[in-house]
Amino acid sequence: MSEDGTKFGRAASRLASIRTHVSQPIVDINKLDKLNFKIAPLVQHALAEGLPIVAFESTIISHGMPYPQNLETAKEVETIVKDNGAVPATIAILNGVPHIGLTALELEELAKLGPKSLKTARRDIAYVVAMGANGATTVSATMFFAAKAGIRIFVTGGIGGVHRHGETTMDVSSDLTELGKTQVAVICAGVKSILDIPRTLEYLETQGVAVVAYKTEEFPAFFTQKSGCKVSCVNSPKECAKLIDASIKLGLGSGILIGVPIPETSEASGDSVELAIQTALSETVVKGINGNAVTPYILLRVNELTKGASLASNIALIKNNALVGAKVAACLMKLQDS
């Protein structure tokens, strides 16, 4: 072999080694133990064996739905993931200890606590841990913990965003900045329609976040399939996996947002939901509700004003997202193994 051929062979070998290292991170369970993370047995096994894992937030359990619907939905969602070849990992902080995956008893405990668990974004993690409190993780906190554990796929209902009139209030969710710096793919039903969707997408562009929609070129609006905002399209779980894998190999370091439209059969009437949102928004001003209490209040009021239609839609879309997320996780594992 010529000298040039030898150099090329060595370079190709090094490149292959780098690609393998980047696309298949080795999770050191002992390191997670030192961080005082509690890993559920099923999740620990999946991490050790390189099995596909889907992370879930816990705010949707504690603050998004009433008991016992929250527990029933959480169990059904985890079953959907298992039935489609992946391992569910619901993330929460219990008694000051971050949990990556919850046992059946822990899931029930969290569901019964409801709003008594502190709504925990990235900024709140240290406080909740230091105080030994219970924390229900939002999108930003869940992404943080998922990334620490080497979990690439995270399924939720919808992400936070730029609030309406955010140009004057500066009320912008930490979910958006987390997506800009944490390499986790978030599969959701889009941005909640209670937010300013066009400005949210503009902010995500500034953060360098790849935003795509599943089997459509229109970004979904949580309760409804259409927002009027065009984005790139991915047509299958395999295409989603290719996108995630490419981002990892390129070392972009940012997250990916995959918007999955709510099933048409579960889509709430856009006009009735919008009217309920406007009513709830007006009430937050009158009652002086602000900060991280705004979204839970609005979702609760919208559900009341739509006589349960929005809650039914919420449950349907999270189940649909879980189905897509499990398939994407399985495809990503096969792609990286190959």
* Pair 262, 314: CB distance under 8 Å: no
Whether 17 maps to a domain, the answer reads: no
Structural domain containing residue 315: 24-337
**Which one, of 184, 167, 251, lies nearest residue 175 by Cα?**
184
Asked if residue 15 belongs to a domain, the reply is: no
Helix ranges restricted to H, 24-138: 29-34, 41-49, 59-62, 69-83, 104-113, 125-130
* Apex 122 CA angle, 178 and 195, nearest 5: 60
Q: To 5 degrees, how large is the angle CA 35–CA 328–CA 97?
A: 20
pLDDT-derived band at 275 (thresholds 50, 70, 90) equals: confident
84-138 pLDDT tens trace: 999 999 999 999 999 999 999 999 999 999 999 999 999 999 999 999 999 999 9
Whether 333 has a pLDDT exceeding 90, the answer reads: yes
Task: Check residue 8 and give its pLDDT.
Answer: 38
What span, in angstroms and rounded, lies between the C-alpha atoms of 107 and 76? Answer: 12
- 58-to-29, 135, 183, 244, 292 alpha-carbon distances in Å: 22, 8, 20, 24, 15
Domain membership flag for residue 197: yes
> HEC states along 228-278?
CCECEEECCHHHHHHHHHHHHHHCCCCCEEEECCCCHHHCCCHHHHHHHHH
* Whether residue 148 lies in the annotated active site: no
Note if the bond before 41 is cis, omega within 30 degrees. Answer: no
Count up the domains in the chain and report the number. Answer: 1
Q: Are 23 and 336 in contact (CB under 8 A)?
A: yes
174 in Cβ contact with 121 (< 8 Å)? yes
Residues in the chain: 338
Q: Which structure tokens are listed for 71?
A: 């527990």
> CA-to-CA distance for 113 and 119, rounded, in angstroms?
12
Q: What is the largest CA-CA distance in the chain?
A: 79
Higher pLDDT among residues 268 and 183, named by residue: 183
Residue 18 lies in a domain: no
Among candidate residues 57, 78, 178, 267, the one labeled active-site is: 57
- With cut-offs at 50, 70 and 90, classify the pLDDT of residue 16: very low
Evaluate whether residue 16 is within a structural domain. Answer: no
Domain with 329 in it: what CATH number?
3.40.1790.10
Instruction: Please tell me the distance from the alpha carbon of residue 310 to that of residue 300, in angstroms, as a whole number.
Output: 9
Of the candidates 234, 262, 260, the one whose C-alpha atom is nearest the C-alpha of residue 332 is 234
Q: Please pick, among 38, 119, 192, 327, the residue that the annotation labels catalytic.
A: 192
Mean pLDDT for 195-204 is: 95
Whether 4 is covered by a domain: the verdict is no
Question: What burial letters (b/e) apply to 267-291, b meaning 16+ CB within 10 Å?
Answer: bbeeebbbebbeebbeebeeeeeee
Give the pair of three-digit tokens for residue 288. Answer: 């002086």
| 5 found inside a domain | no
Q: Is 57 a catalytic residue?
A: yes
Q: How far apart are CA 162 and CA 173, in angstroms?
A: 6
Closest by CA to 169, choosing from 284, 279, 301, 273, is: 284
**Whole-Å CA distances, 333 to 23, 69, 136, 152, 300:** 10, 32, 28, 10, 38
Q: How confident is the model at residue 270 (pLDDT cuts 50, 70, 90)?
A: low
Run of H or E residues at 39 = strand 38-39
In this structure, what token pair is assigned to residue 331? Answer: 């495809």
pLDDT tens figures, 28-61: 666 676 678 999 999 999 999 999 999 999 999 9
Confidence of residue 306 (pLDDT cuts 50, 70, 90): confident
Residue 85 falls within a domain, yes or no?
yes
Mean pLDDT of the chain: 89
Mean pLDDT is highest, among 3-7, 269-273, 300-304, 331-335, for 331-335
Dist CA 270 CA 308 (whole Å): 14
- CA-derived radius of gyration, the chain: 20
Q: How confident is the model at residue 7 (pLDDT cuts 50, 70, 90)?
A: very low
pLDDT per residue as tens digits for the range 22-37: 344 446 666 676 678 9
pTM: 0.86
Lowest mean pLDDT, pick from 8-12, 263-267, 328-332: 8-12
